[in-house]
Amino acid sequence: MRYETGQHVFTAIALFLLLASCGPNPQAGGGIGGTGNTASVASGPITGFGSVFVSGYEYDTATTAMTVDGKPSGQSDLKKGMLVLVNATLTHNYGTNDPPQRTANRLLYEDTLEGVVQSVAQDGSSLIVLGQRVSITTATIIDATIPGQNVLNLVPGQSLVEISGFVTGDGIIVGTFVELKTIDPKTETPDYEVKGFIKNHDITRKTFEIGSLTVDYRDAELKDLQRQSSNIWNGLLVDVRGSQVSLESSSSYGARLTANRVKPEGLGSTDSEGTEVEGFVTQVLGPGDFFLGNVHIQTSAGTTFEGGTLNDILDGARLEMQGPLVGGIVNATKIEFEGEAELQANLATINSDDNTVTLIGLAGLVIQFDSKTALHGQGNPRRLTDLHRGDHLQIHGRLHGGNNVLAKEVERNDPTSNVQVQGLVMSTIDPFLVLFGSSIDTSSIPENGFLGRYGILERSAFFNSLSNGKQITLHGIVLGDTVTWSSASRPD
């Protein structure tokens, strides 16, 4: 997705962050061995209860003021998978290695999408709601309000759902929580809501689009949008609420929403002492200058890297990042590469000079060994020179560049014709998939070889709902130096 006005476009994706909105403020007894408080903001999915866990961090909620969908609420109204915003106080024990104690002062939940289901993918991997495609993954929590906790039991045109999730592109949401809502049609009306990126803004008609949804905002409250020039609305991430929706034909899955309120989405601060963000690189502006989801990040000479280097920051790479937020830009102090790779294939060539190997049938893909690579298996190999052409290797590693995988563990076995590749999609145009920077032609895979969470998906459905960052597994047979691929599967 790109700004239509020439601005840089970025997409929100799976986003976990911890923002310290002011510097340390030691209290009485602070300093070395003492304590100090830091105001912070956290945004992420609820991962547990007792108190409340957000993205794995525990927050004491004994005195927390909670708001759910605009109404004062209690903890019983919260559920796992809901994306929440927490304003908190972090109490640090200086002079120790203990993590800070987190106390939530305010907690806010607003759904990402609420509307009537327009369609359900035949394998349950996605929904269309208000013109937005919602990916349902193995991590998506399906609430007990949905029969069988299975989205295949939702009824297009009838089921009203509330969805929490990450906006990852134009009309694309990765769902973290889905529940069925029931209202009394005699006394209640749905509170339609959608979060997404503005495109095709028409100042004269007072409309814009989000995915396949047209939003009419002529009578809406434009909360904080007045600060933004109407000429640069395209590309803004906004939250829209409305009470009237009209649906187009089922073939287009378009919709039109009359908005009551439109407000921009953001981090809530341009300066914070610390951030923690996990997501996929969505745009690279230059070396060390990129967007992770909707967060602008820059590296420096002091940035430390784990599992990769500066040159490995490429579109589609999955990273974890830490650092302070200054003037709306995160100055990364640490970047960790998260793109996991699983490969099984026969060894083609060995280059002892640069400690790399290639695999038969996977031309262009380079496997890099380093001092930390664990090598074991048949014949008890201990070094690269113990391997031979034809050895069948099982490789666990991490993307280390456009077409380079850094091997963390390698096991040698007897030669076999079986080939398996598992990783994150970097780009796709049917019939080609790009994994680890290498293009794979899936033309040989039959219709019943494309599999989803609930069985056969077929080619068109497989590719139509496939996007960057999705994990897939390919199986095939190697004959000579060519792989004939037999299946492609997705766990979501």
Residue 16 pLDDT exceeds 60: no
**pLDDT for 5:** 38
In this structure, the answer to whether residues 469 and 457 fall within a common structural domain is: yes
Q: Tell me what the mean pLDDT of segment 256-281 comes to.
A: 76
Q: How far is CA 350 from CA 80, 118, 381, 414, in A?
A: 48, 53, 14, 17
364: burial class by Cβ within 10 Å (0-12, 13-18, 19+)?
exposed
- Measure Cα distances from 115 to 59, 111, 240, 246, 360 in Å: 31, 11, 12, 11, 49
Q: What is the pLDDT of residue 31?
A: 46
Q: Which residue has the higher pLDDT, 458 or 180?
A: 180
* Average pLDDT of the chain to the nearest whole number: 82
The pLDDT of residue 22: 41
Measured distance CA(395)–CA(346) in Å, rounded: 11
Mean pLDDT, rounded, for 307-320: 73
Mean pLDDT is lowest, of 258-262, 395-399, 416-420, for 395-399
Say yes or no to pLDDT of 223 above 90: no
pLDDT-based confidence at residue 149 (cuts at 50, 70, 90): very high
Confidence check: pLDDT of 32 > 60: no
- What pLDDT band is residue 267 in, cutting at 50, 70 and 90? low
Q: Which pLDDT belongs to residue 266?
A: 65
Query: What is the rounded distance in angstroms from the CA atom of residue 454 to the CA atom of residue 492?
Result: 9
Same domain, residue pair 178 and 298? no
Quick check: is 1 in a domain?
no
pLDDT of amino acid 335: 86
Are 359 and 481 found together in one domain?
Answer: yes
Position 19 pLDDT exceeds 60: no
Q: What is the pLDDT of residue 73?
A: 92
354 is in which domain, residue-wise?
A: 340-489
Cα–Cα distances (Å) from 59 to 39, 49, 53, 85, 456, in that order, read 13, 9, 6, 12, 42
Residues 299 and 393 in one domain: no
| Torsion, Cα of 276, 281, 283, 285 (10° steps) | 70
Is residue 398 a part of any domain in this protein? yes
When pLDDT is cut at 50, 70 and 90, the band that residue 218 belongs to is very high
Q: pLDDT category, 197, cuts 50, 70, 90?
A: confident
Mean per-residue pLDDT for 145-173? 90
Residue 377 and residue 402 in one domain = yes
Q: Token digits for 394?
A: 């099982």
Q: Is residue 12 part of a domain?
A: no
pLDDT for position 235: 79
Average pLDDT of the residues in 204-233: 86
Q: Which has more confidence, 397 or 446?
A: 446
Confidence label for 191 from pLDDT (cuts 50, 70 and 90): confident
Asked whether residue 184 falls in the same domain as residue 61, the answer is: no
pLDDT number for residue 282: 64
Higher pLDDT, 85 or 316: 85
Residue 21: band (very low, low, confident or very high) from pLDDT cuts 50, 70, 90: very low
**pLDDT band at 43, cuts 50/70/90?**
confident
**Separation CA 252–CA 298 (nearest Å):** 40
User: Are 81 and 196 contained in the same domain?
Assistant: no
142 assigned to some structural domain = yes
Q: According to the model, what pLDDT value does residue 23 have?
A: 41
Residue 33 lies in a domain: yes
Give the C-alpha separation, 15 to 162, whole Å.
20
Tokens representing residue 338 in the block? 């998260």
**Regarding predicted confidence, which is higher, 186 or 132?**
132
- Distance of alpha carbon 264 from alpha carbon 238, whole angstroms: 4
Same-domain status, 74 and 131 = no
At residue 217, does pLDDT exceed 50? yes
Is 88 within the bounds of a domain? yes
**Structural domains counted in the chain:** 4
Q: Helix/strand/coil (H, E, C) string of the chain?
A: CCCCCCCCCCCCCCCCEEEECCCCEECCCCCCCCEEEEEEEEEEEEEEECCEEECCEEEECCCCEEEECCEEECHHHCCCCCEEEEEEEEEEECCCCCCCEEEEEEEEECCCEEEEEEEECCCCCEEEECCEEEECCCCCEECCCCHHHCHHHCCCCCCEEEEEEEEEECCEEEEEEEEEECCCCCCCCCCEEEEEECEEEECCCCEEEECCEEEECCCCEECCHHHCCHHHCCCCEEEEEEEEEEECCCCCCCEEEEEEEEEECCCCCCCEEEEEEEEEEEEEEECCEEEECCEEEECCCCCEEECCCHHHCCCCCEEEEEEEEECCEEECCEEEECCEEEEEEEEEEEECCCCEEEECCCCCCEEECCCCCEEEECCCCCCHHHCCCCCEEEEEEEECCCCEEEEEEEEEECCCCEEEEEEEEEEEECCEEEECCEEEECCCCCHHHEEECCEECCHHHHHHCCCCCCEEEEEEEEECCEEEEEEEECCC
Same domain? 147 vs 253: yes
**What average pLDDT does the segment 220-235 reach?**
77
Separation between Cα atoms, residue 410 and residue 377, nearest integer Å: 8
pLDDT of 318-368, one tens digit each?
A: 777 777 778 878 888 888 776 678 899 999 999 999 899 999 988 778 899
pTM for the predicted model, two decimal places: 0.63
For residue 251, the tally of other CB atoms under 10 A from its CB is 7
pLDDT of residue 472: 87
Task: Tell me what percent of the residues of the chain surpass a pLDDT of 70.
Answer: 83
Query: Would you state the pLDDT for residue 402?
Result: 57
Q: Which residue has the higher pLDDT, 163 or 168?
A: 163
pLDDT band (50, 70, 90) for residue 90: confident
Closest CA to 384 of 423, 413, 357: 357
Answer with the residue of higher pLDDT: 63 or 230.
Answer: 63
Give tens-digit pLDDT for 271-296: 767 677 766 676 788 999 987 766 78
Say whether pLDDT at 425 is over 60: yes
Nearest to 173, CA basis, from 147, 149, 197, 192: 197
Highest mean pLDDT among 155-164, 324-333, 448-457: 155-164
Establish whether the linkage from the previous residue to 431 is cis, with ω within 30° of 0.
yes
Q: What angle do CA 397, 403, 409 make, to 5 degrees?
A: 15
Query: Are the C-beta atoms of residues 22 and 275 closer than 8 Å to each other?
Result: no
| One domain for residues 259 and 280 | no
Residue 48 lies in a domain: yes
166 and 303 within one domain: no
**Confidence at 193, pLDDT banded by 50, 70, 90:** very high
- Mean pLDDT across 52-68: 88
Whole-number pLDDT of residue 8: 39
Q: Looking at the domain assignment, is residue 6 inside a domain?
A: no
The band of 18, judged by pLDDT with boundaries at 50, 70 and 90, is very low
Query: What percent of the chain has a predicted confidence (pLDDT) above 90?
Result: 37
pLDDT of residue 423: 82
Query: Quick one: 87 and 128 in the same domain?
Result: no
CATH code, domain with 449? 2.40.50.320
Mean pLDDT of 44-49: 83
Q: Which of 61, 82, 109 is the last residue of a domain?
A: 109
Asked whether the beta carbons of 8 and 283 are under 8 A apart, the reply is yes
